[in-house]
Amino acid sequence: MIHEDSAAWAKQLEPIFGAHRLEADGSVAGARAISANVRGPLRFWEVRHGSQTVVVEGSAEFRHILRTTSRKDPIAFQQALRSGSFLLLMVSRGTAEIALGGDIEHLAADDAIVFTAIDPFRIKTSAAFVGTWVNLPIWWLLELGGGQVAGSRTKLDGARGAMQALRQIWAILLEPAVEGDDVDDLVALLGNALFRALLHASALNKRAEGLSDRVTRFIGSHYEQEGLAPADAARALGCSVSSIHKACAANSTSFGQRVAALRLSKAAYQLSRDPPSISTVAFQCGFSSLSHFCHAFKDFYGVTPSDVRKRYFRVVDRLPPPQTA
């Protein structure tokens, strides 16, 4: 049975999941809490709640948030611009079950998983669940991996050394006394630990990497290439073009949409950090012309690249203090 306060709770979950719905919500209202915060480029939410199932719609809501907040709430818009295509979930207590791309991942306490936030998914948690959701900007992961991007999901084993280091760095990063340059240094260390954990998990993961994961990796390595097409991926991955289309369609997207989302996410970040010129950003992100880039950016985000530079540059510095729900 859905509790009467579910609408209010769902509203609090929107910054994490975007469009979603609650199913079989058995939480006790008093046990629910969300603490939101920002550290450098990372947004995160520490959550506590009872058993619940959340069905998330995926990237359509990401674009909707950008469109509806662009003129009314520049801070929310800048937060959305700096959000990316991946989520990290670290489970501290209880269990979680995530259904993504036709597979189900099971997580216990001290487990973690990184997966694409643009694809639809379902997460079911146990009673007395405690965990941390971290929004990982795709440009940040690209920089960590030298252009490589993780597959659509990678489960991280809490017992591995890299994951233990990640949790220790994370705990220090959350200390109130940590600020300024120390935040930047710790975020860099956190990124290195996360990247090592991803590499370690991928090497030891017995689950065969699916074609969708391989397509994601290919796009992450070649998104700057002008005219990138499904045929390029098919040749590199040793499969047919139709297989590429089917792998993307299984996650309710297309090859072109995946490439565009990655390019535009990186472009949005660069535009919010005082780039040398809009045209430089366009060409660095793989667009063949400035007019094409401006049209695609406006269509995807609902505002022009110039709007981002003029109205939203460094507005993230004015983010309000974190609040506990």
Establish if 258 belongs to a structural domain. yes
List beta partners, residue 135.
Answer: 43, 87
Phi-psi category of 94—alpha, beta or left, where left has phi over 0 and alpha has psi -120 to 50? left
- In angstroms, the CA 221 to CA 238 distance is 16
Q: What integer pLDDT is reported at residue 98 of this predicted model?
A: 92
**Strands of 153-156's sheet, edge to edge?**
33-39, 42-49, 129-136, 86-93, 112-116, 153-156
Q: What integer pLDDT is reported at residue 232 of this predicted model?
A: 95
Q: What integer pLDDT is reported at residue 315 of this predicted model?
A: 38
Q: Are 274 and 313 in contact (CB under 8 A)?
A: yes
Establish if 290 belongs to a structural domain. yes
- In angstroms, the CA 199 to CA 211 distance is 18
Establish if 277 belongs to a structural domain. yes
Q: What integer pLDDT is reported at residue 268 of this predicted model?
A: 76
Establish if 22 belongs to a structural domain. no
Q: Are 137 and 84 in contact (CB under 8 A)?
A: yes
**Within 84-240, where are the H helices?**
138-144, 161-173, 181-204, 211-222, 230-237
Count how many domains the chain has. Answer: 1
* Residue 237, CA distances (Å) to 71, 234, 286 in order: 42, 5, 21
Establish if 75 belongs to a structural domain. no
Q: What CATH number is attached to the domain comprising 228?
A: 1.10.10.60
For the whole model, what pTM was predicted?
A: 0.65
Establish if 230 belongs to a structural domain. yes
Record the tokens describing residue 111, joined without a space: 């487990």
Establish if 140 belongs to a structural domain. no
pLDDT tens-place values along the chain, 325 residues long:
334 477 888 888 888 887 788 886 655 555 788 988 888 778 889 999 988 999 887 655 455 555 555 555 555 555 555 445 688 999 999 999 998 777 788 999 988 998 876 677 899 998 889 999 998 876 677 667 655 555 567 888 755 677 788 888 988 988 888 888 888 888 888 888 888 787 777 665 545 567 877 887 788 778 888 889 999 999 999 999 999 999 888 777 789 888 887 788 778 767 766 667 889 889 888 888 899 999 988 887 777 888 777 765 443 333 333 333 3
Establish if 133 belongs to a structural domain. no
Residue 256 lies in domain: 211-311
Amino acid at 176: P
